[in-house]
Amino acid sequence: MDIFGIPSQAFFGQLLLGLINGSFYAVLSLGLAIIFGLLNIINFAHGAQYMLGAFAALLGLNWLGINYWAALVLAPLAVGLLAVVIERSMLRHLYKLDHLYGLLLTFGLALVAEGVFKNVFGVSGESYEAPEILQGGVHLGFMFLPIYRAWVVVAALSVCALAWYVIERTSLGATLRAATQRPDLVQALGINVPVLVTATYATGAALAAFAGVLAAPIQQVNPVMGSNLIIVVFAVVVIGGMGSILGSIVTGLGLGIIEGLTKVFYPEASAVVIFVIMVLVLLVKPAGLFGKQA
Amino acid sequence: MNSNVSAHASAQKSQRVVLMFVAMLAVGSVAPFLVYPTLLMKLLCFALFACAFNLLLGFAGLLSFGHAAFLGGSAYITGYLCRDLGLTPELGVLAGGVFSGLLGALFGWVAIRRAGIYFAMITLGLAQLVFFLALQMKFTGGEDGMQGIPRGMLLGVFDLSDNIAMYFFVFAVFMAGFWLVYRTIHSPFGQILKAIRDNEARATSLGYDVAKFKLLAFVISASLAGVAGSTKALVFQLASLGDVHWHTSGQVVLMTLMGGLGTVLGPVAGAITLIGLENLLADKVGSWVTVIMGGMFVVCVLLFRRGLVGELNAVLTRNGLNR
């Protein structure tokens, strides 16, 4: 069976790959948007935190025998704790300054993290085995579906849905949204905004680490996996605009699929297609697809 | 009386400026006989790169995270023109500057639609686009880079394969670029840029077309960054992917920040410190340099935001020496 002259296995295979990348874009841009909403900084260390999540899973297995399922919980927890330390000791002092300093600080932290892991583990990376129950695949007739890949999409989208529910439908989310708009007023109502800020940063970082654990069995776990990804995610964020949670998720998924399809029809352009879309969107709608014009 | 005092102060100031330029010329002329010229040339290229960057961030308040595209992009252009088409080095550098100016106009046209953090992310994305183009296009040599770029004969007369001759060419290019940045900052145009940096809404309400000023600043900055990249390509006879990589964009931010944002000499001091340090540490700590660079970023942002020159100015002012 062919689709536009492409064998269906190749077509759907790339589509699935696009969907997986899109899920990662969605989780990461969601985390960036949540952090940006309350802290007003762009977390350049987001890619490093994603990488740290993957390494936490790998090292946890190799050194402590922690299995995949435990790593899915423990790695985000560990990275989240690290984020608490970073927020308390460094980021906190920058809120009154120009927002660009937050970007520069987290950029420096990302360099440190990437550099340390490069020196200790080299650049080539190691592979991480998926748990047995998720190995193998199913023949769907038109394509072969590896179970682990299906699981990644389901898990990533579930986390996105959960984040959306918490932020848009619970009282905690309402507080968070209020603090995004008027932190001073929320503080006056007796809510401890500094703690909320710390928790938000930690949550964003934990989301990145969760994506890192999900990614570990798909690609080589290596120190630069995060920095390559984060620049694309920045473009995704520019395209979507950081105004809406649902917008971030939809944009991330959509762009992943577009990237996957580009790989099928015009592979040379697949590395740049998202940046080209970024330019086009900026020309037509500078605030981004879901953004509010400042 | 009052005008007398201010006339006196401005005379003193212009005296100091002349002194600064004379001192730079003197130091620059002696330096190649004391220090390894290749290192000095690298320093000067990055100093010009940082000055160009500082014009944008320090005086117009625009953080570009994509300046590597100009440094690296024009290095390829100059390399291609000088190696494959046989242009003389001065024309090659000029063409590099023009190319980067045009590329800068394109970047600026897209990126100036958003401000602040978005501006930084957009320029980063655009530079990444240039990186992938450089990786995939045939003439750049991909992963290997463009090698064997001839230094050539300056104006068809001076042989630049001699390191001292090459040094003075690079030094002349640097001084010309530095002077241009200095003139831009101290012109009415520069005053308006500062006004935009400090309060964009007010500049708009005063009737200035803010976007136009930002775009022009971006083009000047990009063009000078391109000149720095072209010169660097001639010095090392190499144009490589490293120059287009986002690491280089980060490096120039660090240089400017460390030297002192929005000061005239800060970027030069920052480039000297960082390249000097890199040179000193490279064989001792190897690839830990990235970690050190990241650590310096953190320290600069948290504790040292005025940078070397900024701190020095503050000390001088406190002691009443800086009027």
As averages over each run of 10 residues, the pLDDT of chain A (294 residues) reads 71 86 92 87 92 92 89 94 94 86 91 91 84 80 83 92 90 87 88 89 94 91 89 89 83 91 84 88 84 60
Residue B318 has pLDDT above 60, yes or no: yes
Helix crossing, A193-215 with A46-59: angle to 10°? 60
Count CB-CB contacts under 10 A for residue B256: 31
**Nearest Cα to Cα of residue A161 among A23, A59, A61:** A23
* Contact list, A111 vs chain B (CB under 8 Å): 250, 290-291, 293-294, 297
HSE-CB for B247 with a 13 A CA cutoff: 17
- Report chain B's C-alpha Rg in angstroms: 20
Residue B313 lies in a domain: no
- Give me the residue from B110, B121, B305 closest to A234, CB to CB: B121
Cα(A72)–Cα(A64) distance, integer angstroms:
15
In a 10 Å sphere around its CB, with 0-12 CB exposed, 13-18 middle and 19+ buried, how is residue A269 labelled? middle
Domain count, chain B: 1
Instruction: Tell me how close the Cα of A102 comes to any Cα of chain B, in angstroms.
Output: 8
Contact A111 B294 (CB under 8 A): yes
Q: How confident is the model at residue B5 (pLDDT cuts 50, 70, 90)?
A: low
pLDDT of residue B203: 87
Which residues have a Cβ under 8 Å from the Cβ of B282 and sit 6 or more positions away? B289
CB B243 within 8 A of CB B121: no
Contact B133 A105 (CB under 8 A): no
- Give me the residue from B117, B122, B132 closest to A272, CB to CB: B132
Residue B1 has pLDDT above 50, yes or no: no
pLDDT of residue B123: 92
Residue B12 lies in a domain: no
Contact A231 B122 (CB under 8 A): no
Query: What average pLDDT score do residues B202-221 get?
Result: 91
Distances in Å between the alpha carbon of A68 and those of A27, A75, A280?
Answer: 19, 10, 40
Contact B120 A103 (CB under 8 A): yes
Cα(B52)–Cα(A60) distance, integer angstroms:
46
Q: DSSP assignment of A151-187, as one string? A: HHHHHHHHHHHHHHHHHHHSHHHHHHHHHHH-HHHHH
Residue B80 lies in a domain: yes
Is B298 an interface residue toward A (CB < 8 Å)? yes
Cα(B153)–Cα(B88) distance, integer angstroms:
6
* Contact list, B290 vs chain A (CB under 8 Å): 111, 114-115, 118
Residue B236 lies in a domain: yes
Question: Which residues face A145 on adjacent strands?
Answer: A138
Range among A104-108, B7-11, B29-33 rated most confident:
A104-108
Contact A234 B124 (CB under 8 A): yes
Contact A97 B63 (CB under 8 A): no
Cα(B263)–Cα(B46) distance, integer angstroms:
16
Which residues have a Cβ under 8 Å from the Cβ of B85 and sit 6 or more positions away? none
pLDDT of residue A240: 86
3-state secondary structure of A35: helix
Element (H, E) at A6: strand A6-7
Average pLDDT, chain B: 87
- Give me the residue from B126, B287, B301 closest to A275, CB to CB: B126
pLDDT of residue B87: 84
Q: Which of B65, B301, B303, B304 to mutate to test the interface with A (most CBs of A within 10 A)?
A: B301
Domain residues of chain A, as ranges?
A: 12-226
pLDDT of residue A9: 76
CB A44 within 8 A of CB A29: no
Residue B262 lies in a domain: no
DSSP H helical segments within A182-224, as ranges?
A: 183-188, 193-215
**Nearest Cα to Cα of residue B225 among B64, B1, B88:** B64
CB B53 within 8 A of CB B190: no
CB A218 within 8 A of CB A269: no
CB B257 within 8 A of CB A104: yes
Residue spans of beta strands (DSSP E) within chain B: 146-147, 153-154, 158-159, 238-239
Q: Which domain holds residue B46?
A: 36-244
Instruction: Tell me how close the Cα of A234 comes to any Cα of chain B, in angstroms.
Output: 6
* ipTM rounded to 2 decimals: 0.86
Contact B297 A294 (CB under 8 A): no
B228-258 tens-digit pLDDT: 999 999 999 888 888 999 889 988 999 999 8
The answer, as to whether pTM is greater than 0.90, is no
Q: Spell A73-104 as b/e; 16+ CB within 10 A means b.
A: ebbbebbbebbeebbeebbeebeeeebbbbbb
Contact A275 B120 (CB under 8 A): no
**Nearest Cα to Cα of residue A34 among A205, A174, A204, A289:** A204
Cα(A236)–Cα(B81) distance, integer angstroms:
36
- Residues 225-254 of chain B whose Cβ lies under 8 A from any Cβ of chain A: 246, 250, 253
Cα(A94)–Cα(B184) distance, integer angstroms:
31
